[in-house]
């Protein structure tokens, strides 16, 4: 009963609304100091929602909001308090206003009062104990030209750096160059003042758009230790190495902002330019200089140098129609421990010549802009020649019509007759014959539909007959290559799938087979089918070998299972 009465009194106390009071722990500070800003809600049943966007105009929110709840019973009444607190830091000197913020709880709104903060101007960097700096290698660059940005920490006293977040770089493609696990310092002098310098972060920036791009400040939170001053002066004492500390204080350090200006390229861009900016060399190689028809050859195009590696490509390469070409594989080997982004990009092409003779790969051209010389450059590789030898046999080779086949077609084709027609009179007997032919023709056309309707047997189309004989045809092809001790060509399997499942053509690959047959055959058989196709391609292109006789038998068994389930 007592608990019920307590809850009743508590609900009555919050039903009349709530109040919100904003406060700070200090109203005078300097740039880099941290202010504890909090909003205390009295008689509120939840923390509600607070929009802090207006606060970000003059202050940086370091952390928050953190939440705390307290309840007190004073003189027979309940006091319920909820406190939300933020750690903020001023962005500039002068009289800054913590704006009025709206608190919304269950549809009810309350606004806090404004608070005046007097912010003193910080001392110059050379007089500070701890500060950070953002240093650019250049502030004017071409699109695609590298700019190196380095964030450094300078200190005269010991300090610890808390984890910080790297700002975003809109308008740039960035590549991280250096992020230390532990900051290492070295001794330097800034205008006669001794400091310790350490690198916080180093990044390579490549502008990709715009004319003027702003780089935001890096914000770092540090715990700075104050030195204890000695009462007596020691002429041999260096205050830089004073290790006697009394207390610590939290500081927010900000680097300066920068503006990067984008320069225009000299003249017009060449037609073959694909975005390369830097200094490069080009080379082409093949893995062999002699092979047999239908064997695979690897052709590599390599671009090596310093610049915006990864932001450009080479123009599409078109080879002869007698060469099967597969999509290239791209690989980038990056050189580490260098301020300038450098390395080697390689494009690997797999080519399969289908006719014998001398295979000539023409020179590859690459156009780039060199920002150091401010000139356009065009590189050309050396042409490559490969000797393609004939083979005694081939499996399902793609070929055009032979001369003999053309002669046969010429005899079978009936051309338009240009002579005078020989008309004959149609008598009544002839008309009966014509009607009889039409009647029997109609019966012949109807019979397949009747058989299909009654018996479920389809004999009315060529695709149906091809589907019925697809397995037999595929087994015959496999037995043939088995007797010749040759690998199974994946085209045998593609042709079987095309005829068995009424596909429009046999131009398939493992990816399209997976999509087409995902719901037509069982998953385990689909996986076995894809593995068989990949193995056949690997053997055909010399990437694998087959010396096991059971390979042919298992292939036939798999096709039998697929044919049986369909």
| Interacting residues of 345 by C-beta distance below 8 A, sequence separation 6+ | 302, 303, 304, 309, 310, 330, 331, 332, 333
Beta strand extents in 113-155 (DSSP E only): 115-120, 130-136, 140-142, 147-155
Torsion-angle region of 540 (φ positive above 0: left; ψ -120 to 50: alpha; else: beta): alpha
Q: Are 196 and 132 in contact (CB under 8 A)?
A: no
Answer with the residue of higher pLDDT: 85 or 547: 85
Q: What is d(CA 149, CA 135) in angstroms, rounded to the nearest whole number?
A: 6
For the chain, what percent of residues have pLDDT higher than 90? 18
Beta strand extents in 228-272 (DSSP E only): 245-254, 258-263
Q: Report pLDDT digits (tens) over 167-186.
A: 999 999 999 998 998 999 99
Beta-carbon-side half-sphere exposure of residue 358 (alpha carbons within 13 Å): 5
Q: What is d(CA 219, CA 122) in angstroms, rounded to the nearest whole number?
A: 16
How far is residue 119 CA from its own chain's centroid?
A: 45
Dmax (CA) for the chain in angstroms is: 145
- Is the whole model's pTM more than 0.95, yes or no? no
What per-residue confidence (pLDDT) applies to 238?
Answer: 53
Q: How confident is the model at residue 390 (pLDDT cuts 50, 70, 90)?
A: confident
Q: What is d(CA 448, CA 441) in angstroms, rounded to the nearest whole number?
A: 12
Beta strand extents in 243-341 (DSSP E only): 245-254, 258-263, 273-286, 290-292, 297-307, 323-325, 329-334
Tokens of 293: 């028809």
270-389 maps to CATH 3.40.50: no
In the three-class reduction of DSSP (H, G, I as helix; E, B as strand; rest coil), residue 550 is classed as helix
By CB atoms closer than 10 A (0-12, 13-18, 19+), residue 107 is: exposed
Q: What is d(CA 89, CA 221) in angstroms, rounded to the nearest whole number?
A: 10
Please provide residue 463's backbone torsions phi and psi, each rounded to the nearest 5 degrees: -55, -35
DSSP for 422-442, written as a single string: ------HHHHHHHHHHHHHHH
H or E element at residue 483? helix 462-483
Q: What is d(CA 467, CA 501) in angstroms, rounded to the nearest whole number?
A: 7
H or E element at residue 71? strand 59-74
Do 2-120 and 270-389 come out as alike in CATH topology?
yes
2-120 maps to CATH 3.90.180.10: no
How far is residue 120 CA from its own chain's centroid?
A: 47
Give the residue extent of every domain in the chain. 2-120, 125-229+240-262, 270-389, 462-565
Please tell me whether the peptide bond between 65 and the residue prior to it is cis, using omega within 30 degrees of 0: yes
Q: What is d(CA 229, CA 406) in angstroms, rounded to the nearest whole number?
A: 106
What per-residue confidence (pLDDT) applies to 487?
Answer: 78
What per-residue confidence (pLDDT) applies to 307?
Answer: 92
Q: How confident is the model at residue 143 (pLDDT cuts 50, 70, 90)?
A: very high
Tokens of 24: 């700070």
What per-residue confidence (pLDDT) applies to 377?
Answer: 93
Q: What is d(CA 530, CA 2) in angstroms, rounded to the nearest whole number?
A: 74
Q: Are 261 and 139 in contact (CB under 8 A)?
A: yes
Lowest mean pLDDT segment, chosen from 41-45, 195-199, 268-272, 430-434: 430-434
> Is residue 128's pLDDT more than 70?
yes
> Is residue 408's pLDDT more than 80?
no
Q: What is d(CA 350, CA 471) in angstroms, rounded to the nearest whole number?
A: 31
For residue 432, give the nearest of 440, 442, 424 by alpha carbon: 440
How far is residue 501 CA from its own chain's centroid?
A: 37
| Range from 378-392, 500-514, 517-531 that averages highest in pLDDT | 378-392
For residue 368, give the nearest of 337, 400, 345, 394 by alpha carbon: 345
In the three-class reduction of DSSP (H, G, I as helix; E, B as strand; rest coil), residue 436 is classed as helix
Average pLDDT over residues 216-229: 79
Q: Report pLDDT digits (tens) over 412-430.
A: 455 565 666 666 665 556 6
Tokens of 268: 């017009």
Average pLDDT over residues 215-224: 88
What per-residue confidence (pLDDT) applies to 474?
Answer: 85
């Amino acid at each position: 009963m007592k608990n019920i009465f307590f809850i009743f009194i508590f609900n009555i106390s919050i039903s009349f609304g709530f109040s919100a009071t904003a406060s700070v722990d200090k109203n005078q500070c300097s740039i880099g100091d941290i202010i504890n800003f909090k909003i205390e809600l009295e008689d509120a049943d939840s923390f509600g929602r607070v929009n802090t966007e207006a606060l970000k105009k003059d202050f940086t929110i370091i952390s928050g909001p953190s939440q705390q709840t307290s309840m007190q019973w004073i003189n027979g009444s309940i006091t319920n308090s909820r406190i939300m607190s933020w750690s903020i830091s001023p962005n500039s000197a002068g009289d800054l206003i913590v704006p009025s913020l709206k608190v919304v709880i269950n549809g009810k709104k309350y606004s806090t009062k404004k608070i005046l903060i007097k912010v003193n101007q910080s001392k110059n960097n050379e007089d500070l104990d701890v500060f950070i700096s953002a240093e650019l290698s250049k502030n004017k660059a071409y699109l695609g030209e590298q700019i190196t940005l380095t964030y450094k920490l300078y200190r005269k006293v010991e300090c610890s750096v808390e984890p910080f977040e790297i700002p975003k770089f809109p308008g740039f493609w960035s590549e991280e160059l250096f992020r230390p696990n532990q900051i290492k310092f070295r001794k330097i002098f800034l205008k006669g003042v001794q400091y310790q310098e350490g690198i916080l972060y180093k990044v390579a920036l490549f502008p990709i758009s715009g004319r003027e791009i702003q780089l935001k400040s890096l914000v770092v939170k540090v715990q700075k230790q104050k030195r204890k001053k000695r009462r007596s002066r020691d002429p041999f004492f260096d205050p830089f190495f004073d290790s006697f500390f009394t207390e610590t204080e939290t500081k927010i350090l900000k680097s300066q902002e920068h503006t990067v200006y984008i320069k225009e390229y000299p003249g017009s861009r060449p037609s073959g330019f694909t975005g390369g900016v830097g200094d490069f060399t080009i080379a082409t190689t093949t893995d062999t200089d002699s092979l047999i028809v239908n064997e695979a050859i690897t052709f590599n195009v390599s671009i090596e140098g310093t610049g915006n590696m990864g932001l450009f490509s080479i123009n599409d390469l078109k080879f002869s129609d007698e060469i099967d070409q597969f999509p290239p594989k791209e690989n980038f080997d990056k050189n580490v421990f260098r301020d300038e982004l450098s390395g080697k990009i390689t494009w690997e092409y797999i080519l399969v010549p289908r006719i014998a003779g001398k295979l000539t790969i023409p020179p590859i051209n690459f156009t780039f802009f060199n920002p150091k010389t401010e000139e356009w450059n065009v590189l050309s590789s050396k042409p490559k020649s490969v000797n393609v030898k004939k083979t005694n046999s081939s499996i399902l080779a793609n070929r055009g019509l032979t001369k003999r086949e053309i002669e046969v077609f010429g005899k079978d084709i009936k051309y338009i007759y240009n002579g005078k027609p020989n008309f004959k009179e149609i008598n009544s007997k002839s008309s009966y014959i014509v009607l009889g032919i039409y009647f029997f023709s109609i019966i012949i056309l109807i019979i397949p539909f009747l058989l299909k309707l009654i018996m479920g047997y389809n004999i009315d189309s060529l695709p149906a007959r091809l589907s019925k004989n697809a397995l037999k045809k595929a087994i015959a092809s496999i037995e043939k290559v088995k007797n010749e001790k040759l690998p199974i060509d994946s085209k045998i399997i593609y042709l079987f799938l095309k005829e068995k499942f009424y596909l429009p053509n046999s131009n398939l690959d493992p990816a399209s087979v997976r999509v087409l047959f995902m719901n037509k055959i069982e998953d385990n058989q689909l996986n076995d089918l894809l593995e068989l196709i990949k193995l056949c391609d690997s053997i055909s292109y010399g990437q694998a070998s087959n010396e096991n006789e059971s390979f042919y038998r298992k292939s036939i068994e798999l096709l039998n299972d697929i044919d049986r389930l369909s």
